[in-house]
Chains A and B, each alone.
Chain A
Amino acid sequence: MPIDAAAEVIANHPLSTDYNVLALAAPAIAAAAAPGQFVMVKAGAGHDPLLRRPFSVFEVLRDERGAPTGISLLNKRIGVSTDLIYKAQPGERIACLGPLGRPFTVVDSPTEAWMVAGGVGLAPFATLAEALRARGVRSTLFYGARRAQELFHLDFFRGLGVELVLTTEDGSLGERGRVVTPLERRLAAQSAAAPVMIYACGPEGMLAAAATTAARFDRPCQVSVERIMGCGLGGCYSCVVRMRNGHGGLHHVRSCIAGPVLPGNQIVWD
């Protein structure tokens, strides 16, 4: 059962003029959240903006004894709600419903985990990387952004022993270009006998490229999709993804309850 918390803002860490990390006190949600799950967040009081917005759980915050105390959100300012979340002040309360959706399936060693993140699509990978680390899974993060200043939390992933493969569109850090390029190279170099699970989250074009590239090399790929959601609970049918149903037909699947993590090879990419 999802929990509806009037979560107090503990801290707001701006990362750039567009990105911030908002820390919320929500112990029950934090305790229940699995990597890849999301929360529905209501920015501001009143009717405008009206609807909640879906956010991946970015970090599970813990006290000194390791008990979950809250969660953080990785936010990028793109509209009214995300602007309010960018500007949220400690002490404010934000309605936060979750955890929701189907999480990532976390692999076990000796399968390697390759995470592919584009921009704000980094969000679900902090908790996934922790879960992989706990299982001793060798992990790599392919992480692309527009420029060096928009590649965040690199030390966090390094601290978990995650190998980083970075790309920027302007070449200011890592390889110049798109993140799927080094992924494809690595896939080509990987022995077919060595199992790999690919996890992807980011813009739709990147997801499509990651999923089709993985499929071309016959590797499984779990993608975390982002859709405009009305409710997050399966009630409104807004957030559908077109998928193959296994019988040659196509089906609109609600990404809030069947996802947000979905098998990349079953999604019909536009």
Chain B
Amino acid sequence: MDLSVRIGSLALKNPIIAASGCFGYGVEYADVVDLESLGGIAVKGLFLAEREGHPAPRIVETPAGMLNAIGLQGIGVRRFIHEKLPELRARKAIVIVNICGTTVDEYVELARILSDAEGVAALELNISCPNIKEGGITFGCSLRGTFDVVSAVRKVTGLPILPKLTPNVTDVASFARAAEEAGADAVSLVNTFLAMVIDVETRRPKISNVVGGLSGPAIRPIAVRMVYECRQAVKIPIVGMGGIANARDALEFMIAGAAAVQVGTANFVDPFIWPKLFGGIRDYMQRHQIARIADIVGTVDTRARDNEWISS
């Protein structure tokens, strides 16, 4: 059984990637999961500089989901390269570095620095974090901004680049197209949905940043629809995510058009989820006699159903 997939020039041993912001810098999980067994690890979003992020409370649970506004707390790219990357490399992890800037120049600088670092497999461009005031989502909510960031980073790196798209736009597919035209190797989607939870007793928002990003099983059907729409709009591979909690959910994204998937919130609930996901995919392949998992990508059959009862 062949679980390997390709995302442009990036070859992964399987299609399951740990999602950025949900897996620390990877090293936090070295005790609970063999990092090498993952298709890849998208590490926590990095700026050039260290950031302290928002005050607590930073998360609140919602029906089948959670809202977060961490505010991209992080150690900055240089400390990441010195303190985390060597261990990730030693553990043979496929490292996808998620980068975030407040200006195009910062994305370019981050891409330059990381292109020279040993052990970086790809760059995921965070143009979709809903929780910071400057940068990120301001690029991801404008077609021009998306094009500018991606094309500027394209000029300075040979690494595969995956802009991570926000669902907080009218037409995600047009953003996937802008990324493709700018030279992206793939797109990853979706980031979280901007959302809000209020404590009715105190009339206060439940997280300090007032609004935050919704993730978890609650958003999955919307994310699947967006992957499906993007599949029809672009030729480059799609990395799909949004509420995947088991192998069936991962397969759903792949059938909708994702070449690979990322798993985030579910890792909080069950940090031992990874082998279960691989096992579930193998079971499915066996049951359906599928030799290569890549063959199911985008195979959703949307033809009209035969013998459909039609109201008249």
Contact = CB atoms under 8 A, between A and B. Distances in A.
Contacts of B216: 47, 50
A213 B253 CA distance: 55
B269 A42 contact: yes
B205 interface: no
A257 B52 contact: no
Interface string B213-253: 00011100000000000000000000000000100000000
B32 interface: yes
A50 B60 CA distance: 11
B73 A51 contact: no
B57 interface: yes
B284 interface: no
Interface residues of A, number: 30
A32 interface: no
Contacts of A234: 24, 28
A182 interface: no
A49 B216 CA distance: 11
Interface residues of B, number: 36
B64 interface: yes
Contacts of B61: 49-51
Counting chain B CB atoms within 10 Å of each CB, the highest count among A47, A48, A95, A251 belongs to A47
Contacts of A48: 63-64
B73 A240 contact: yes
Nearest to B58: A238
A1 B32 contact: yes
Interface in A223-270: 227-228, 230-231, 233-242, 250-252, 257
Contacts of A49: 61
A212 B60 CA distance: 29
B269 A228 contact: no
Contacts of B267: 231, 235
Given A4-B272, A236-B22, A252-B73, A47 B31 contact: no
Given A47-B64, A47-B245, A48-B64, A235 B53 contact: no
B68 A236 contact: yes
Interface in A38-65: 42, 47-52
Closest 3 CB pairs of A and B: A234-B28, A47-B64, A231-B268
